[in-house]
A and B are shown apart, each in its own frame.
Chain A
Amino acid sequence: MPESLFGEDVIVRTIARIVAPFIQLFGLYVLMHGHISPGGGFQAGVIIASSFILLALALGLPESKERFKKTIRLPMESSGPLIYASIGVTCILAGGYYLQYGMAFLFPPHVVSAILISAVEIGIGITVMAMIVTIFYSMAGD
């Protein structure tokens, strides 16, 4: 990876550092409003991952990897499908089909449905975010 791709400009570094938390906040908004408005787990994961890509382009690859280590990324990649599958199996155990929300739980069906949809979206978002960042890191050179 040529060093010239990663800028040393102080303006770029400062702007990226200021903007990155807001991009992540917007990603969380898209994640939590996915069942009401356009968006959802995949889009939110891509948005949050793009904030990490911005940090890597502005601050340089080693500093960005220091903030998002492989020991954190690997469990995040595999925890998303685990959340998804466990919620689906929970719906089977509650007496419905796979991922059939709102079966016989303690709360009314629409409340259970809203909570479980949000949980599934969070699982998808975690996996997509970690996977895209990992693809970027491995393409940029380890």
Chain B
Amino acid sequence: MIWGPDLFILAILVVLAIAAVISRDLLVATVIFSGYSLLMALAYVQLNSPDVGFTEAAVGAGVTTVLFILAISRTARMEEA
């Protein structure tokens, strides 16, 4: 375990999570969440768990994003206040 890159990844993860929650545009939130999943996969690989990282990169960053975008295209794009 390398402290520098891990702390860097975790700090960006916190920022991305807050940004995804705050964002009113759900499409923007989905893309931010995709980036969150990619960094989460990096963190898993960093923590010596490449299997979980593989799943996170394939499902979290790939399929889930497409399904969220399809759901947005079926409903409203902007979050109601």
Contacts and interface: CB of A to CB of B under 8 A. Distances in A.
Interface of A: 1-2, 5, 30, 38-40, 42-43, 46-47, 49-50, 53, 57, 132, 135-136, 139-140
A136 B54 contact: no
B9 interface: no
B55 interface: yes
B62 A46 contact: yes
A49 B55 contact: no
Contact of B51 (A2, A39, A53, A132): A39
B19 interface: no
A50 B55 CA distance: 13
A46 B58 contact: yes
A47 B61 CA distance: 11
B71 A139 contact: yes
A39 B63 contact: no
A38 B74 CA distance: 36
A49 B63 CA distance: 9
